[in-house]
Amino acid sequence: MAKKTIVPESYNWEVHNLFTYEKRKKQLAAGEITQVEFDEFCWQYRESAEQREERWRRDHVIREMEIDNAKNFREFKDKPKEFAKKMFDMGQGISQWWYRKPKKGAGKGKMIQHPITGAWQQEYKPNSSMNMRAWLDKANEGKVMPHMNPNQQRLDREPTEQEKGLSEEAKKARGKKVWEWLLGETNNFGRGFDDPKWGKAYKGRPGRGGQIIKTGRYTVK
Protein backbone atom coordinates (compact mmCIF):
# COMPACT_ATOMS: atom_id res chain seq x y z
CA MET A 1 0.00 0.00 0.00
CA ALA A 2 1.32 3.44 -0.95
CA LYS A 3 2.33 5.69 1.89
CA LYS A 4 -0.18 8.48 2.46
CA THR A 5 1.15 11.98 2.00
CA ILE A 6 1.10 13.98 5.23
CA VAL A 7 0.27 17.62 4.50
CA PRO A 8 1.42 20.10 7.17
CA GLU A 9 -1.40 21.75 9.12
CA SER A 10 0.07 25.15 8.27
CA TYR A 11 -0.43 24.57 4.51
CA ASN A 12 -3.27 26.82 3.39
CA TRP A 13 -6.55 25.76 1.80
CA GLU A 14 -7.55 27.28 -1.55
CA VAL A 15 -11.05 28.49 -2.44
CA HIS A 16 -12.23 27.73 -5.96
CA ASN A 17 -14.60 30.68 -6.35
CA LEU A 18 -11.80 33.28 -6.27
CA PHE A 19 -13.83 36.23 -7.56
CA THR A 20 -16.50 35.88 -4.86
CA TYR A 21 -13.80 35.06 -2.29
CA GLU A 22 -12.16 38.47 -2.82
CA LYS A 23 -15.60 40.09 -2.66
CA ARG A 24 -16.40 38.32 0.63
CA LYS A 25 -13.07 39.42 2.13
CA LYS A 26 -13.91 43.05 1.37
CA GLN A 27 -17.40 42.60 2.81
CA LEU A 28 -15.91 41.09 5.98
CA ALA A 29 -13.46 43.98 6.34
CA ALA A 30 -16.31 46.48 5.85
CA GLY A 31 -18.48 44.70 8.44
CA GLU A 32 -21.14 43.78 5.88
CA ILE A 33 -20.92 40.05 6.76
CA THR A 34 -19.90 38.23 9.91
CA GLN A 35 -16.86 36.01 10.40
CA VAL A 36 -19.19 33.01 10.63
CA GLU A 37 -20.73 33.82 7.22
CA PHE A 38 -17.26 34.25 5.73
CA ASP A 39 -16.05 30.93 7.18
CA GLU A 40 -19.16 29.15 5.88
CA PHE A 41 -18.48 30.48 2.39
CA CYS A 42 -14.83 29.35 2.53
CA TRP A 43 -15.88 25.90 3.72
CA GLN A 44 -18.47 25.54 0.96
CA TYR A 45 -16.14 26.46 -1.92
CA ARG A 46 -12.75 25.31 -0.70
CA GLU A 47 -10.83 22.53 -2.41
CA SER A 48 -11.16 18.92 -1.32
CA ALA A 49 -8.60 17.24 0.91
CA GLU A 50 -7.35 15.24 -2.09
CA GLN A 51 -6.89 18.41 -4.18
CA ARG A 52 -5.02 20.12 -1.32
CA GLU A 53 -2.78 17.08 -0.88
CA GLU A 54 -2.03 16.93 -4.62
CA ARG A 55 -1.26 20.67 -4.72
CA TRP A 56 1.08 20.37 -1.73
CA ARG A 57 2.83 17.35 -3.24
CA ARG A 58 3.25 19.15 -6.57
CA ASP A 59 4.69 22.27 -4.91
CA HIS A 60 6.91 20.15 -2.68
CA VAL A 61 8.29 18.11 -5.59
CA ILE A 62 8.93 21.22 -7.69
CA ARG A 63 10.76 22.86 -4.77
CA GLU A 64 12.91 19.76 -4.26
CA MET A 65 13.72 19.66 -7.98
CA GLU A 66 14.78 23.32 -7.91
CA ILE A 67 17.08 22.66 -4.91
CA ASP A 68 18.61 19.57 -6.55
CA ASN A 69 19.09 21.43 -9.83
CA ALA A 70 20.89 24.30 -8.08
CA LYS A 71 23.12 21.82 -6.19
CA ASN A 72 23.99 19.94 -9.39
CA PHE A 73 24.75 23.13 -11.31
CA ARG A 74 27.06 24.30 -8.51
CA GLU A 75 28.95 20.97 -8.65
CA PHE A 76 29.09 21.21 -12.45
CA LYS A 77 30.64 24.71 -12.32
CA ASP A 78 33.22 23.69 -9.69
CA LYS A 79 34.29 20.37 -11.25
CA PRO A 80 32.63 19.91 -14.66
CA LYS A 81 34.56 16.78 -15.74
CA GLU A 82 34.07 14.95 -12.46
CA PHE A 83 30.38 15.86 -12.36
CA ALA A 84 29.87 14.77 -15.99
CA LYS A 85 31.54 11.42 -15.25
CA LYS A 86 29.39 10.90 -12.15
CA MET A 87 26.20 11.58 -14.09
CA PHE A 88 27.37 9.27 -16.89
CA ASP A 89 28.00 6.47 -14.38
CA MET A 90 24.49 7.02 -12.98
CA GLY A 91 22.99 6.89 -16.47
CA GLN A 92 21.83 10.50 -16.31
CA GLY A 93 22.49 13.32 -18.73
CA ILE A 94 23.43 16.97 -18.34
CA SER A 95 21.45 19.87 -19.74
CA GLN A 96 23.23 21.24 -22.79
CA TRP A 97 22.24 24.75 -21.74
CA TRP A 98 24.59 24.52 -18.76
CA TYR A 99 27.57 24.83 -21.12
CA ARG A 100 26.01 26.15 -24.35
CA LYS A 101 24.58 29.64 -24.76
CA PRO A 102 21.19 29.66 -26.55
CA LYS A 103 20.53 31.90 -29.51
CA LYS A 104 19.20 35.36 -28.76
CA GLY A 105 15.54 36.03 -29.29
CA ALA A 106 14.15 39.30 -30.59
CA GLY A 107 15.87 42.48 -29.48
CA LYS A 108 19.45 43.50 -28.74
CA GLY A 109 19.77 42.40 -25.09
CA LYS A 110 22.50 39.85 -24.37
CA MET A 111 21.86 36.41 -22.92
CA ILE A 112 22.64 36.10 -19.18
CA GLN A 113 22.99 32.82 -17.29
CA HIS A 114 21.61 32.60 -13.76
CA PRO A 115 24.55 31.88 -11.41
CA ILE A 116 22.52 29.47 -9.22
CA THR A 117 20.15 27.56 -11.51
CA GLY A 118 22.00 27.82 -14.82
CA ALA A 119 18.87 29.13 -16.55
CA TRP A 120 19.27 31.68 -19.35
CA GLN A 121 17.36 34.90 -19.84
CA GLN A 122 17.74 37.85 -22.17
CA GLU A 123 18.24 41.27 -20.65
CA TYR A 124 15.94 44.00 -21.86
CA LYS A 125 17.64 46.57 -24.05
CA PRO A 126 15.53 48.97 -26.11
CA ASN A 127 16.47 49.46 -29.74
CA SER A 128 16.55 53.20 -29.26
CA SER A 129 16.40 55.60 -26.35
CA MET A 130 13.53 58.10 -26.12
CA ASN A 131 11.36 59.67 -23.47
CA MET A 132 7.96 58.25 -22.55
CA ARG A 133 5.93 60.79 -24.52
CA ALA A 134 7.92 60.16 -27.69
CA TRP A 135 7.66 56.39 -27.17
CA LEU A 136 3.86 56.58 -26.83
CA ASP A 137 3.63 58.68 -29.96
CA LYS A 138 5.69 56.13 -31.87
CA ALA A 139 3.59 53.32 -30.40
CA ASN A 140 0.39 54.96 -31.62
CA GLU A 141 1.96 55.03 -35.10
CA GLY A 142 2.89 51.35 -34.85
CA LYS A 143 6.63 52.04 -35.01
CA VAL A 144 7.80 50.34 -31.81
CA MET A 145 8.32 46.63 -31.01
CA PRO A 146 8.29 45.55 -34.68
CA HIS A 147 8.66 41.88 -33.67
CA MET A 148 5.20 42.10 -32.01
CA ASN A 149 3.63 44.42 -34.59
CA PRO A 150 5.24 43.58 -37.95
CA ASN A 151 2.44 45.26 -39.93
CA GLN A 152 2.92 48.54 -37.99
CA GLN A 153 -0.75 48.81 -37.04
CA ARG A 154 -1.64 51.93 -35.07
CA LEU A 155 -2.51 51.31 -31.42
CA ASP A 156 -5.10 54.08 -31.20
CA ARG A 157 -7.24 52.74 -34.08
CA GLU A 158 -10.61 51.02 -33.90
CA PRO A 159 -10.51 47.21 -34.34
CA THR A 160 -11.63 45.84 -37.70
CA GLU A 161 -14.76 43.72 -38.10
CA GLN A 162 -12.57 40.65 -38.55
CA GLU A 163 -10.70 41.40 -35.32
CA LYS A 164 -13.99 41.93 -33.50
CA GLY A 165 -15.20 38.55 -34.76
CA LEU A 166 -12.01 36.80 -33.64
CA SER A 167 -12.29 38.47 -30.25
CA GLU A 168 -15.92 37.38 -29.88
CA GLU A 169 -15.07 33.78 -30.80
CA ALA A 170 -12.21 33.75 -28.29
CA LYS A 171 -14.54 35.17 -25.64
CA LYS A 172 -17.09 32.40 -26.30
CA ALA A 173 -14.36 29.75 -26.12
CA ARG A 174 -13.14 31.10 -22.76
CA GLY A 175 -16.70 31.23 -21.44
CA LYS A 176 -17.30 27.62 -22.50
CA LYS A 177 -14.17 26.46 -20.66
CA VAL A 178 -15.24 28.31 -17.51
CA TRP A 179 -18.75 26.82 -17.73
CA GLU A 180 -17.42 23.27 -18.21
CA TRP A 181 -15.08 23.77 -15.24
CA LEU A 182 -17.99 25.01 -13.10
CA LEU A 183 -20.14 22.02 -14.06
CA GLY A 184 -17.34 19.67 -13.11
CA GLU A 185 -16.60 21.36 -9.78
CA THR A 186 -20.25 21.41 -8.72
CA ASN A 187 -21.19 18.01 -10.22
CA ASN A 188 -23.57 19.83 -12.58
CA PHE A 189 -24.94 21.85 -9.62
CA GLY A 190 -25.66 18.63 -7.74
CA ARG A 191 -27.68 17.12 -10.59
CA GLY A 192 -24.98 14.77 -11.83
CA PHE A 193 -24.28 13.97 -15.45
CA ASP A 194 -25.72 11.71 -18.13
CA ASP A 195 -26.80 8.33 -16.83
CA PRO A 196 -27.57 5.25 -18.99
CA LYS A 197 -30.60 4.49 -16.85
CA TRP A 198 -32.11 7.96 -16.41
CA GLY A 199 -31.07 9.60 -19.65
CA LYS A 200 -29.54 12.97 -20.41
CA ALA A 201 -29.04 15.37 -17.50
CA TYR A 202 -30.02 19.03 -17.76
CA LYS A 203 -26.91 21.25 -17.78
CA GLY A 204 -28.49 24.69 -17.76
CA ARG A 205 -28.11 27.39 -15.14
CA PRO A 206 -30.05 26.83 -11.91
CA GLY A 207 -32.92 29.13 -11.01
CA ARG A 208 -33.94 29.99 -14.57
CA GLY A 209 -37.69 30.24 -14.97
CA GLY A 210 -39.96 30.49 -17.99
CA GLN A 211 -38.61 27.40 -19.74
CA ILE A 212 -39.75 23.80 -19.82
CA ILE A 213 -36.94 21.44 -20.72
CA LYS A 214 -37.72 17.74 -20.90
CA THR A 215 -34.96 15.27 -20.20
CA GLY A 216 -34.89 11.55 -19.63
CA ARG A 217 -34.59 12.15 -15.89
CA TYR A 218 -37.02 14.93 -15.07
CA THR A 219 -38.70 18.08 -16.38
CA VAL A 220 -37.18 21.45 -15.49
CA LYS A 221 -39.37 24.55 -15.48
Residue 206 covered by a domain = yes
**pLDDT: is 103 or 30 the higher one?**
30
Question: What pTM does this model have?
Answer: 0.38
Has residue 193 been placed in a domain? yes
- Per-residue pLDDT, 142: 80
In a domain, 181, yes or no: no
Q: What is the C-alpha to C-alpha distance for residues 147 and 105, in angstroms, rounded to an integer? A: 10
Note down the domain range covering 199: 188-220
Question: How many separate domains does the chain show?
Answer: 1
Residue 41 lies in a domain: no
Is residue 54 situated within a structural domain? no
Name the band, by pLDDT with cuts 50, 70 and 90, for residue 2: very low
Q: Is residue 216 part of a domain?
A: yes
CA distance 119 to 126: 22
221 pLDDT band, cuts 50/70/90, is: very low
What amino acid is encoded at 114 in this protein? H
Residue 210: pLDDT band by 50, 70, 90 thresholds? very low
The model's pLDDT over 87-120, given as tens digits with 9 standing for 90+, comes to 888 887 788 888 888 887 666 778 888 888 888 8
8 Å CB contact between 216 and 198: yes
Average pLDDT for 175-190: 86
Indicate the average pLDDT of the chain.
Answer: 80
- Percent of the chain exceeding pLDDT 70 equals 86
| 176 found inside a domain | no
Residue 197 counted as domain residue: yes
pLDDT at 171 over 50: yes
Q: What is the DSSP string of the chain?
A: -PPPP---TTSPPPBS-HHHHHHHHHHHHTTSS-HHHHHHHHHHHBPPHHHHHHHHHHHHHHHHHHHHHHHHHHHHHH-HHHHHHHHHHTT----GGGTSPPPP-SSSPPEEE-TTT--EEEPP--SS---HHHHHHHHHTT-S-TTT-TT---TTSPPPHHHHHHHHHHHHHHHHHHHHHHHHHTTTTTT---BTTTBPPP-S-TT--S--EE-SS-EE-
